[in-house]
Structure 1
Amino acid sequence: MVNLLLSLNNFDENWCYNILKNIIKEDYKVLIVPFSYDEKWLSNESDWSKAFNSKDGTHYEEIVSPFLAYGIDENNIKWINQFTDTIDLMKEKIKDTDIIFFTGGYPDKMMQRFKKYDLINELENFKGIMIGTSAGAMVQISEFHITKDSDYKRYLYCKGLNIIKDFDIEVHFENKELQNLSILRCLKEKKKVVYSISNDGAILVIDGQIYVLGDAEKWDIPKCYY
């Protein structure tokens, strides 16, 4: 299995393209899973179409364009639409794809929807390439932390997919004091490595082997925390 953890949908840029072009093949099928939204702006089929419709969806191009850079045909990029797809169809789409892509947004809401649509088992047993930006990266961690910000009023831990167990991540890293303190707290309380990922960085995991791409950094556990 391959996991790609990002902060933005920019995995077609020079800092990672030459590595990923050997992994993302032009004949691969892609499945977009946009489960990370807030109900305030996406609560029905009309909202979904306005966001992701291929003709004029506000988020369509930013999600799809990186895959096109790897030669993937737009017809091979499918979506899960929870307003029209049955649970059985969602599961079939997961089984019939090479790449799953999780959008950014709210990781806890994404996990709630995975459970609501009974997709946890299918996702945790997926053997292809799993790509996620921001929240979509966080949910690939078995237990991830959320740093306090405008959307989350306090620091907290959440259960993610039981896929990556050995480390945690801090996305959109800008070396801010609050982010640094959050990383240190995670190191102390969970005693596992944390990788900070800037908006031009990523962590790539191939069958358990970890690679740091672009502007990302490993934070080890201080000896005093053991």
Structure 2
Amino acid sequence: MEIVRKIDRAQAQKLLDGSLSLKASKDNPIFFSSRNTFAMENRDQIQSMDKHKQETNDENDSVLLVIDDLNPNLDLFWQSQECKWIHGKLSVPVLQSELTAKDILRIEEINAKHRMNILMNTSMYDEKWCYPALKKVYRPTDRVCILAFSFYDDTKNAQDWDRQFGAGRGIWYRANTDPFLKFGLKKDQIVWVNFFEDSPEVMKNKILNSSILVLPGGAPDLMMKRIKEKKLTAILKNYQQTIVGFSAGAMIQLKRYHITPDEDYPDYGWYSGLGYLDDFDIEVHYQGSSHQKRHIEKAMDDSGLEVIAIYEKGGMICEPKGKRSYFGQIDFFSLPEQK
């Protein structure tokens, strides 16, 4: 039996889609790793495992399934399954059923091992109030994918989309592209996902090949609806790199978020997001108005969560293991402690 079995990116994507499953048995459990985050750093352990097999002729060793992708977005499945090395031999739990997309989603249980989430109101992150904080995150070698799905219902076709986001003439194109140039990136390192013209496969490849995923502002509920329509939910939930969202794009990074009534949304309500963050709520475009404060209090009563109010020039970075940092202007609201 192979000690290391490789699959290519297309097969890895099929695992996420649920169109490919892998059989596991008592004698042949399967677990996941990625070439750059496990195999390349653990060659000695792999060799030790191989040596053990040769010396003992043990055919019950586990299969190490290596995602053959330089920049994988599947986290280390073996960690979520409590696998560990014992004297050079791998000990893994038994998987006796097919490993499907639902199993892959268990990766979320060890979520945020590598992921970093940035929540803001504006894409002008090259300005003085936020540049020092973001300079520590963005790198000249990054590859950016902008998921432009947050447009309102008056954008009905590719021509409408192009007028908003198209290269060279879209009203939101430069606002989302140019600020990255100050961090040393080139325009050819930035791609846009076109809702109307890109195939689902092209969309997924753009996302998988990025190290920064941008979620623009606009309509958060419509953005989530379109993500589901294009069957991108699983791949986005498992994205393990840097995610930056503006306004609506910040909101959908939460498991649940509230909307304070405004000119676009006349009614207060709660909506479901991608679930990267679940221990707080946010108020975007905060101005300190009594209207906003009243709905922040309502949101806290409904959810029991603290609310982080982000001013126009404010933002926060959520790092692995729950670490948070803030820049610009932020206010914090929490329910009084129960006596």
Amino acid at match of 1:93: K
Aligned to 1:205: 318
Aligned to 2:117: 3
Query: Are 2:273 and 1:160 aligned?
Result: yes
> Is contact 2:260-2:295 (8 Å) kept?
yes
> Is contact 1:10-1:200 (8 Å) kept?
no
Distance 2:166 2:220 in 1: 23
Aligned to 1:19: 133
- In structure 2, stretches of 5+ residues that fail to align are 1-114
Shift of 1:172: 0.4
- Superposed, 1:1-226 pairs within 5 Å as 1-40=115-154, 42-207=155-320, 208-224=322-338
Shift of 1:223: 2.1
- In structure 1, stretches of 5+ residues that fail to align are none
Partner of 1:217, secondary structure, is strand
Partner of 1:132, secondary structure, is strand
**TM-score of the superposed pair, with normalisation by structure 1:** 0.96
Amino acid at match of 1:31: C
Q: Calculate percent identity across the aligned residue pairs.
A: 33
Distance 1:81 1:12 in 2: 25
Partner of 2:295, secondary structure, is helix
Q: What are the Cα deviations for residues 5-53 of structure 1, in whole angstroms up to 9, with x where unaligned?
A: 011112211122112111100110000111111121x111111111112
Distance 1:46 1:177 in 2: 40
> Is contact 1:31-1:77 (8 Å) kept?
yes
Distance 2:156 2:241 in 1: 30
Q: RMSD over aligned Cα, in angstroms? A: 1.2
Between 119-128 and 53-62, report the one with greater CA deviation.
53-62
> Is contact 1:31-1:94 (8 Å) kept?
yes
Amino acid at match of 1:217: D
